[in-house]
């Protein structure tokens, strides 16, 4: 059950000007690629100077001798903006992380930069791109000549945005010799290197506000990634080097503090936190309610107060068996309690359509994707590797959130009210008890409705840099279920306005 749950959590010719140094011509991945050594203070490379749609430009940086970025222009998805795709090559070129980059539809020369990742762990951000918040959506009618439809609610409406497939083994990302990344902390180092190389190479983005966004396992990823960036910024500043202008993280229906997960699921399934009348049988709810105190005690003793790998694994197994089995057997969509599915993996046919589209030879050629094997939306192997370390249970990720808030990094926690898997109640409970200097102020605030086009979109609460927002009638994938509301929320967040 643990792996099944995890796998379904789907949810990433040289055209420089004469200012460059003499380029290298050797490249392990494509004889047609060219390499630029981005020496600090000696290079000014504009993103729009990369015009080839056929070959990569490979960018290296002296501070990251074991990392490089390969990038090319693309016609993929959104004809109204410039689009670039490529790879971050890490560990001396043995691992390759694929990314899509879309310029802002509003003012790419001035707008903020955002990175989006999907969760899993092991799920491709291509799903977020083509199913949720990207510039285009998969065309389920097959009427579009390029397989996609333009998305008016894309989050690149007001931001330059990356979609990153990470870690290796996810989506188009791959390793040459079977190398793996199996913990969030290890993944954070690669994410920091990628963003730093990009910002320091393309000086047009220097100083731009940076926001990290994602959903689901992003509740674990993003606080750690942001903390890695913040800490490395302090090292850079102490050495007189440029730093990244990290402003915020945005977590949608995330898993951050495991201590509230099962209580939240119980309230969604057997209470009225999602539906006006609980759908589950009374006898089932009584059994779950009876098992909840034991589940919480086991989790507290073996995973939270102290971590014991074997006992924590046993606690998780008990909680999943006793607390979630009935929901999975009910036929209800684990990502949207209002939906009934014949089979969980058929709840969203778009998932298979996205996988098929991204696996097409023509799509791969357009993007420059080089990954071996069939494209899959989620990687079972990556998921199993993270679970083998009990990655989300062994670490108190909520403490990263608190430390970021203390350092004036804004945090948005948003959640669709119909999600079961990483539901709004579980998120509300951990945010309410988060230990930070603004805890008393946050507790003293009252909930208020937030509106989009005159209609109530959900409820929100704010204190200091922390904002919590619900989205009524949305499930796990908020931008898919409520695109107008999600886009309005992000627009206000980027403008530093109250939601």
Instruction: For CA atoms 154, 250, 198, 106, give the dihedral sign.
Output: positive
Tokens at residue 404, please? 């970021």
At residue 68's C-alpha, the angle toward residues 65 and 71, to 5°, is 165
Residues 416 and 335: beta-carbon distance below 8 Å: no
d(CA 230, CA 359): 36
Which of 80, 172, 169 has its CA nearest to residue 120? 169
In angstroms, rounded to a whole number, what is the distance separating the alpha carbons of residues 328 and 347?
13
Residues in Cβ contact with 39 at an 8 Å cutoff, skipping those fewer than 6 apart: 21, 62
Q: How far is CA 86 from each of CA 65, 181, 183, rounded to the nearest angstrom? A: 18, 20, 23
Q: Which residues pair with 116 in a beta bridge?
A: 163, 213
Estimate to the nearest angstrom the gap between the alpha carbon of 319 and the chain centroid: 26
Other Cβ atoms within 10 Å of 72 Cβ, number = 24
DSSP notation for 355-404: HHHHHSHHHHHHHT----S---SB-HHHHHHHHHTTTTTSS-HHHHHHHH
Task: Please report, for residues 38, 115, 117, 126, the alpha-carbon distance to residue 250 in angstroms, rounded to integers and kept in the order given.
Answer: 31, 10, 11, 18
∠ CA 481-355-4, rounded to 5°: 75
Interatomic CA distance for residues 116 and 128, integer angstroms: 8
The DSSP result for 430-468, as a single string, is HHHT--STTHHHHHHSPPEEEEETTEEEEEEEEETTEEE
Q: How many CB atoms lie within 10 A of CB 325?
A: 13
Q: What is the CA radius of gyration of the chain?
A: 22
CA distance 359 to 130: 13
> Which residues are annotated as catalytic?
216, 419, 476
Q: Which two tokens stand for residue 290?
A: 């009876």
- Among residues 474, 490, 435, 498, the alpha carbon closest in space to that of 158 is found at 490
How many angstroms separate the CA atoms of 45 and 418, rounded? Answer: 46
Which among 432, 442, 425 has a CA at the least distance from the CA of 398?
432
Q: How many helices (H) and strands (E) does the chain have?
A: 16, 18
CA distance between the termini of the chain? 37
């Amino acid at each position: 059950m643990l792996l099944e749950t995890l796998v379904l959590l789907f949810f990433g010719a040289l055209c420089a000007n004469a200012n460059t140094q003499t380029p290298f011509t050797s490249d392990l991945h494509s004889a047609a690629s060219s390499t630029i050594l981005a020496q600090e203070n000696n290079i000014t490379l504009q993103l729009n100077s990369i015009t080839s749609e056929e070959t990569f430009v490979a960018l290296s940086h002296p501070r990251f001798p074991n990392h490089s970025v390969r990038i090319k222009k693309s016609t993929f998805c959104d004809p109204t903006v410039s689009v670039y795709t490529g790879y971050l090559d890490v560990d001396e070129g043995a691992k390759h992380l694929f990314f899509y980059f879309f310029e802002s539809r509003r003012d790419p020369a001035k707008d903020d930069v955002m990175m989006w990742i999907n969760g899993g762990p092991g799920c491709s951000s291509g799903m977020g791109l083509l199913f949720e918040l990207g510039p285009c959506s998969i065309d389920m009618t097959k009427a579009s000549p390029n397989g996609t439809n333009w998305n008016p609610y894309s989050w690149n409406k007001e931001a330059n945005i990356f979609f990153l497939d990470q870690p290796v083994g996810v989506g188009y990302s791959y390793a040459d010799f079977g190398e793996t990344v199996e913990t969030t902390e290890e993944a954070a180092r690669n994410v920091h290197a990628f963003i730093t190389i990009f910002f320091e190479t393309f000086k047009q983005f220097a100083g731009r506000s940076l926001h990290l966004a994602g959903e689901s396992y992003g509740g674990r990823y993003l606080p750690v990634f942001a903390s890695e960036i913040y800490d490395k910024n302090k090292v850079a500043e102490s050495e007189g080097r440029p730093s990244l202008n990290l402003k915020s993280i945005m977590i949608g229906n995330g898993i951050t503090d495991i201590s509230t997960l099962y209580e939240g699921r119980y309230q969604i399934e057997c209470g009225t936190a999602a539906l006006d009348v609980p759908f589950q049988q009374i006898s089932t709810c009584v059994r779950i309610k009876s098992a909840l105190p034991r589940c919480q005690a086991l989790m507290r003793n073996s995973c939270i107060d102290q971590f014991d790998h074997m006992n924590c694994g046993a606690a998780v197994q008990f909680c999943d068996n006793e607390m979630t089995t009935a929901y999975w057997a009910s036929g209800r969509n684990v990502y949207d309690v209002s939906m009934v599915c014949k089979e969980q993996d058929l709840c969203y046919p778009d998932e298979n359509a996205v996988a098929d589209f991204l696996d097409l030879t023509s799509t791969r050629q357009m993007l420059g994707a080089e990954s071996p094997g069939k494209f899959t939306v989620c990687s079972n192997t990556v998921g199993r590797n993270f679970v083998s370390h009990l990655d989300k249970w062994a670490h108190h990720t909520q403490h990263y959130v608190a430390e970021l808030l203390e350092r004036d990094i804004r945090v948005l926690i948003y959640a669709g009210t119909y999600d079961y898997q990483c539901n709004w109640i579980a998120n509300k409970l951990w945010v309410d008890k988060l230990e930070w200097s603004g805890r008393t102020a946050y507790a003293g605030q009252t909930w208020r409705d937030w509106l989009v086009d005159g209609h109530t979109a959900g409820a929100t609460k704010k204190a200091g840099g922390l904002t919590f927002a619900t989205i009524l009638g949305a499930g796990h994938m908020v931008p898919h279920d409520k695109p107008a509301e999600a886009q309005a929320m992000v627009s206000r967040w980027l403008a530093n306005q109250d939601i």
